[in-house]
Amino acid sequence: MIKVLKAGLYTSIQDKGRFGYRNIGVPNSGAMDSISSGLANALLNNQENDAVLEIMLQGPTLEFTKTTAIVISGADMSPKLNDEFMLNYKVYTVKSGDILSFGQLIKGLITYVAILGGFQTETILNSKSFYQGITGESKLKKNDCIPYKTQTTSIKKANSILKINKQFFETKIIEAYKGPDFELFSLAEQEKLITNLYTVSKDINRMGYRLEESVIPHNKSMITGPVLPGTVQIVPSGQLIILMKDAQTTGGYPRVFQLSEKSIAILAQKKVGDTLNFSVLNNS
């Protein structure tokens, strides 16, 4: 077990997501930055869908009760093992009584902790991903215990550190496809949507990221339609809302862009005040 000594701001269990239930209103959920979480699992030779810890903005303090191996990935949150600084994308052996903690957020927003064999929490609707209403809790709390597999064989430490392209965290360009309602707007409005520089607002969470700028105030009405993680909606005030992994399954605002999984991952690492603009790809 891992004992949660301190929960952090928003720490949850996530795997790749909960699929096949959108017809009954169940969101996908899953890791916001699937690229970083996937790399951490790969370094441990885990299965692609093994559950990881997702840590947003401020990290927890965790105590291990048995030997295993872990990898930290994603945002640099100054991780420490027994008060010694750790490196992201490196395999570490941990033993009973070891303490994992986090400090200053240096780069990015979301950190992942992968463990050998994945975290062994309850599977509900084919996923371990936390979502309140499905798993009962949306985040970890103090004194929670997280099960993981007992490691009975020797653990090989990595001889090198995986180098990550810094552009993943630093780029301001978010690639997107035109959404199904993009053509509701005039050519001049479309150009403004594409070329405007946007700022990440303080209104960000696992459901969606709202951008500050009111680009095109409008009164366009539409019948509620399906939305997905990565759908970019424009509300009547002219602001854009980018739906993320815990997003609802339907929405009533025009859908002007659709982000790819890679773009969702890049956006997930943006903090309040970061700027971005869209690069529109050919839908064909």
CATH code for position 271: 2.40.100.10
pTM comes to: 0.92
Mean of pLDDT values over 14-40: 94
Q: For the chain, what is the domain count?
A: 2
152 lies in a domain? Answer: no
- Whether 189 and 269 share a structural domain: yes
- Whether 126 and 13 share a structural domain: yes
pLDDT confidence tier of residue 153, bands split at 50, 70 and 90: low
Mean of pLDDT values over 110-137: 94
- Whether 133 and 176 share a structural domain: no
Three-state secondary structure call for residue 158: coil
- Whether 13 and 136 share a structural domain: yes
157 lies in a domain? Answer: no
The range of the structural domain enclosing residue 140 comes to 2-146
Name the burial class of residue 9, with classes exposed (0-12), middle (13-18) and buried (19+) by CB atoms within 10 angstroms of its CB. exposed
194 lies in a domain? Answer: yes
pLDDT confidence tier of residue 166, bands split at 50, 70 and 90: confident
Residue-wise pLDDT for 246-270, tens only, equals 999 998 899 999 999 999 999 999 9
Name the E strands within 161-245: 173-178, 198-204, 208-211, 225-226, 231-234, 240-243
Both tokens assigned to 177? 């496809």
- Whether 179 and 235 share a structural domain: yes
Q: Select from 146, 180, 208 the last residue of a domain.
A: 146
- Whether 39 and 86 share a structural domain: yes
Mean of pLDDT values over 177-182: 95
The arrangement of strands across the sheet holding 2-6 comes to 84-85, 80-81, 99-101, 61-64, 2-6, 145-146
Look at residue 224 in the predicted model and tell me its pLDDT.
85
Look at residue 137 in the predicted model and tell me its pLDDT.
87
CA-only gyration radius of the chain, Å? 20
- Whether 7 and 141 share a structural domain: yes
The arrangement of strands across the sheet holding 107-115 comes to 10-14, 52-56, 107-115, 68-76, 92-94
